Structure formats: structure tokens, C-alpha cells
Amino acid sequence: MNTIFDFTVKDRKGKPVALKGYAGEVLLIVNTATKCGFTPQYEELERLYEKYHSKGFEILDFPCNQFGQQAPGTDESIHQFCKLTYGTEFPRFKKIKVNGDDADPVYKYLKEQKGFAGWDMTHPLAHILDDMLRKEDAEYDQKPDIKWNFTKFLTDKRGLVVARFEPTESIENIEKAITELL
């Protein structure tokens, strides 16, 4: 697999979606959760989507229940929550795993391309996450695994992974990176 466009994923109803259908677009790929301290980021993500979608930008939302069981429910109930609570319009896919042997192949690829980039320690939740994860594994920050919900990967129009943003990254920095690629 050379680019993100080489993969096929499942939509929330279980139908295959070839990511090559997004070729030529800038993608922000996000693992999400509906019951997380970062869940309000859906609002910021939808704002980015509305602002740049017509310019060739797409957000791909992959719910994941691996971090504190914070994405409970069915694919459809998660979708309804996001639509009703945050008015999201970007594509939402089937709930997946992002870490471990049974991680979705898309996420295995993304992590190979961009490892953990560190927290923005000015974010109020950064120290809490760092303390919690360091207690579990003193060297957690040396591994490429996804650390928490709302980790974002940015791909360019050719499908190459150009950046990874941890959930503590400011939306302004993410938006700047998106506009540079558009």
C-alpha cells in the first residue's frame, strides 16, 4: 500500500467504500468518540468541513471504542448523535479498532506513515493524558500507536500522509496545514 487511496473501508452500514474515490482531495482522517472530553471537537471539524469541502477537502470519521469505551452504541446511533448534536455532514464510517493486532488496515498504514508527535502541553487535558498513559507504559510516547480519541491524520491530494495531529492540537494549526495543501 503506497497511499491512502489504495484502501477500502466500510461505511457505517457495512458497505465497502474504496478510498480511491477521494483521489485528488485533501483528507483529514479522525478516530472519534461520542462520550469523550474531546467530543466537542466535532463542532470545530464540521466548521472546517463547511469552509473547505467545496475546495476539495474531506473529513473521514472513524468511530472507535478503544479509549475508555467512549464510543458506545451502534454505528447508526453514533451517526444520529453526531448529526443531531453537532450537525455533522462529513462521512462517518463503521466503528473500527485503531490499535492492536485487529486494528483496521487503514490505521496500521497511517501509524506507519506518522508516529506519535507529542502532546500540545498547553492544552488543559495534555498533562492528564500524559500522566495516565505514562502510568500504563513509561515509554508510551516512543510507540506509533494512537493514544486517544480525535487523533487526526492529514493526507495530500495524492493520498500521502503529511501530518498527524494529536487531539490536543489547536484547530488553528490544523486549519493552517489544510489550507497549505488546498
Is the Cβ–Cβ distance between 33 and 158 less than 8 Å? no
Length of the chain in residues, anyone?
Answer: 182
CA angle, 80 then 56 then 157, to 5° = 115
Out of 19, 36, 82, 110, which one is annotated catalytic? 36
What are the φ and ψ backbone dihedral angles of 162, each rounded to 5 degrees? Answer: -110, -20
Determine the Cα–Cα distance for residues 60 and 48; give it in Å rounded to an integer.
12
Beta strand ranges found along 51-166 (DSSP E) = 57-63, 152-155, 161-165
**Catalytic residue at 82?**
no
Which residues are identified as catalytic?
36
